[in-house]
Structure 1
Amino acid sequence: MSELSFDGVTIRYGHGRHSLTAVDDVSLTVPGGEIVGLVGESGSGKSTLARAAVGLTPVTSGRITVGGQPVPTRGRRPLQMVFQDPYLSLNPRMSIGQSIAELLPPSSRADRAAEARRLLELVDLAPNRAQQFPSQLSGGQRQRVALARALAARPEVIIADEITSALDVSVQGTVLNLIRDLQSQLGLSMLFISHNLAVVRYVATRVVVMYRGRIVEHGAAADVLEEPQHPYTRELLSSVNGRTPGAA
């Protein structure tokens, strides 16, 4: 897995007096083989940054690179994004197996079907789910399929944008445990975006805190979460109640 870097990225909408700066001179790195948690409230700019990385939002200034190279706009893309709502990436008219197989490298139909079943097993779903459709699965199962589909594209980095926020707590834990397992097995590089510090604490090795489009704190997860330096980080921590999802 490669390193994902944002270097002085600014994203601005509109012009002149009516312009809005959603992301303001942000620099951060997701080292190869690590999960970095990007945390902040709704409107902090974290999802805008993620969308820019995968080409869904234009960058006003700055650079986004993977493995030191600009993210290509055509051909194979080294970044894959998993959204909060898996319906954004799953075609309701396609079977689960077909949705996964369409992102696989060219090969025979039989080989792609076999690989789709393998990826389903990798995300702890029965291979026979390949014959089902998104409407036949629960929200947690659909999110696992979205992860399998992202992995099918052989990405160098995965961006997970609030992928547990729409799930109930017990299902959140299952998905978070899966992410930890995949990171251990595959050495995933992941930018894990959430408004919930308890969730980030469970999966991330490093934490980046965004507030009003800027990074206000970053560092090793233990340092940021145990001895926060910025008032906003302390405010986020004070709002965390109960045990960490997925924890024993």
Structure 2
Amino acid sequence: MSELEFAGVSVRYGGFTAVDEVSLTVPEGEVVGLVGESGSGKSTLAQAAVGLVPVSDGRILLDGTDVHRLRPRDRRVQMVFQDPYSSLDPRMSVGESIMEAMPKGAYAGRDARRREVARLLELVNLDPGRAAMPPRRLSGGQRQRIALARALAGRPEVVIADEITSALDVSVQGAVLNLVRDLQRELRLSMLFISHNLAVVRYLSDRIVVLRAGRIVETGPTEQVLADPRHPYTRELLAAAPSRHTELLGDDDSDPENLDY
């Protein structure tokens, strides 16, 4: 397990400040929910953590070391993106996409990598036989499971999940959330879980950080923030969320092999 820390991080595009002096910590083995409306800077912060956008000020630290000074194979931070239809290369099979994310030299030969692909597919509740398929033959929920398997192939200790259910049908969102919760607990991952929906964040997170216009306006343990939100913006988000997470999740304890997701 590792700890991910954002220390006074700002990201600017020209004269526009997308993230403004954000400081937050994702403790070892915990899930921090980052919540805010579209345009609040959530995805920008996530992209900065994996090196997709430059940091204007501040530092992003993995166990005390600036992630931008680490070699890519030592960063141990992987990201799962919002859109499962664009995050996978359509020219690659499912297995090839997962293999591409494996650390170089981690497996001796293609057979070993294929066995690891099969293990990862089973881990996300998919038939290993799907490894030969192109992404276009899979549903959105199945593609997001592949994206999760691909992220895990990089052997991360920190996973950043950026709105990973928002592009999915409501009927499969709960199944994917249950999978994420189970994987996080089983693998003891540290996780930054990003969403605009407090009902989703409530279900998964140990702590909540509320972001508005690039700045943190409220943070604290999940139950504390939800039971007694101090900032008016947090109260607005809470009022817009379903009253119970089951309204979103539905009956998702069904056998995953019997569901088409």
Name segments (4+ residues, structure 1) moved above 4 Å. none
Residues 154-165 of structure 1 mapped to structure 2, 5 A cutoff: 154-165=155-166
- Which residue of the partner structure matches residue 222 of structure 2? 221
**Offset, 1:243:** 3.4
Q: For residues 65 and 13 of structure 1, what CA distance do their matches in structure 2 show?
A: 22
CA positional deviation for 1:93? 1.2
- What residue is the counterpart of 2:64 in the other structure? 68
1:246 partnered with 2:244: no
Q: Which residue of 1 aligns with 2:37?
A: 41
1:204: Cα distance to partner? Answer: 0.7
Report the counterpart of residue 86 of structure 1 in structure 2: 84
CA distance in 2: counterparts of 1:75 and 1:178, whole angstroms: 27
**Could you say which residue in structure 1 is the equivalent of 2:152?**
151
Measure the CA separation in 2 of the matches of 1:216 and 1:13. Answer: 22
Q: 2:238 is matched by which residue type in structure 1?
A: L
Q: Is the partner of 1:117 in helix, strand or coil?
A: helix
Cα root mean square deviation, aligned: 1.3
Matched ranges for 1:192-231 at <5 A: 192-231=193-232
2-structure distance, mates of 1:80, 1:128:
25
Deviations 1:80-130 (A, max 9, x none): 111011244311111101110122232210000000010000001111111
For 2:227 and 2:170, the matched residues in 1 are separated by 23
Equivalences, count: 244
Give how far 1:75 is off: 3.3
Check if 1:50 corresponds to 2:46: yes
Conservation of the 8 A alpha-carbon contact between 2:5 and 2:62: yes
SS at match of 1:37: strand
CA shift, 1:156, in A, is 1.8
1:233 matched to 2:234: yes
Query: What does residue range 43-192 of structure 1 map to in structure 2 within 5 Å?
Result: 43-72=39-68, 74-76=71-73, 77-105=75-103, 106=105, 107=107, 108-192=109-193
Instruction: Report how far residue 214 of structure 1 moved.
Output: 0.4
Q: CA deviation at 1:242?
A: 5.1
Contact 1:9 1:27 (8 Å CA) reproduced: yes
| CA distance in structure 2 between the partners assigned to 1:130 and 1:103 by the alignment | 14
Give the unaligned 5+ runs of structure 2. 252-261
- What displacement does 1:213 show? 0.7
211-220 or 83-92, which deviates more: 83-92
Among the aligned pairs, what percent are the same residue?
67
Compute the displacement of 1:246 (Å): 2.5
Write the letter of the residue equivalent to 1:89. S
TM-score computed with the length of structure 1 as normaliser: 0.95
Measured in 1, the distance between the counterparts of 2:226 and 2:171 equals: 23
Aligned amino acid, residue 143 of structure 2:
R
Q: Secondary structure at the match of 2:167?
A: coil
Contact 1:202/1:247, CA 8 A, preserved across alignment: no
Partner in structure 2 of residue 12 of structure 1: 12
Give yes or no for contact 2:85–2:140 (8 Å, CA) kept in 1: no
Structure-1 separation of matches of 2:216 and 2:154: 30
1:208 is paired with a residue of what secondary structure?
strand
Q: State the AA in 1 paired with 2:81.
A: F
Post-superposition offset of 1:247: 5.8
Give distance in 1, aligned partners of 2:231 and 2:90. Answer: 44
Q: CA deviation at 1:169?
A: 1.6
